[in-house]
Amino acid sequence: MKTLISLTLLTVLVAFLSPSNQHNVSAQATSLITTTCQKTPFYQLCISTLTADPRSRSSNLTTLGLIVVDATKVKSTSTLTQINKLINSTPQLRGPLKNCVDLYNGILGVIPTAVEALTKGDPKFAESSMVDAANEAESCEKSFGQSKSPLSDMNKVVHDLSVVATAIIRMLL
């Protein structure tokens, strides 16, 4: 009798840990990522951002939103670092760049609000924060007026990530 129970438990354990079962979990995560990203305006950016983060392999919609919010923070931080370097090397653009410093500090200021709101299950505040982040990145770009912005690519990525995050968060409302 003990042998039969042990054999049954071993069979269940092997079945649970088998690669095919792990593949199903991965397939479910991939399906959630694909379905979610199809509902965002920047499908490829959404897919590449989510699949690059290991948390997406076993996540829910809230976690996917957090991943994109975190990616927005990373890109915003690197953009702010670049802006500070450019302030010293391009004096003719100092005015717009200083404006962008304020705008990116604003972005980095609202991201913790978005994270906290998502974590606490209050996506409305997270949505508002990420809409603000998208607008701030766009405002930075516009602050260069007729001048060529040295931040166009970075502003676009931050804007687009913020829009993707907003779209995912809206699915939680």
Q: Give the domains, in start order, of the chain with CATH numbers.
A: 59-170 (1.20.140.40)
Report pLDDT for 58: 82
Report pLDDT for 8: 35
Dist. CA 19–CA 21, nearest whole Å: 5
Q: What is the DSSP letter of 122?
A: -
> What predicted TM-score, i.e. pTM, was given to this entire model?
0.84
Structure tokens at 81: 């670092």
Dist. CA 151–CA 97, nearest whole Å: 9
Residue 1 has pLDDT above 60, yes or no: no
Dist. CA 49–CA 45, nearest whole Å: 6
Q: Quick one: 3 exposed, middle or buried, by C-beta within 10 A (0-12, 13-18, 19+)? A: exposed
pLDDT tens figures, 110-135: 999 999 999 999 999 999 999 999 99
Residue 93 has pLDDT above 60, yes or no: yes
Dist. CA 40–CA 83, nearest whole Å: 28
Q: In terms of pLDDT, which residue wins out, 4 or 165?
A: 165
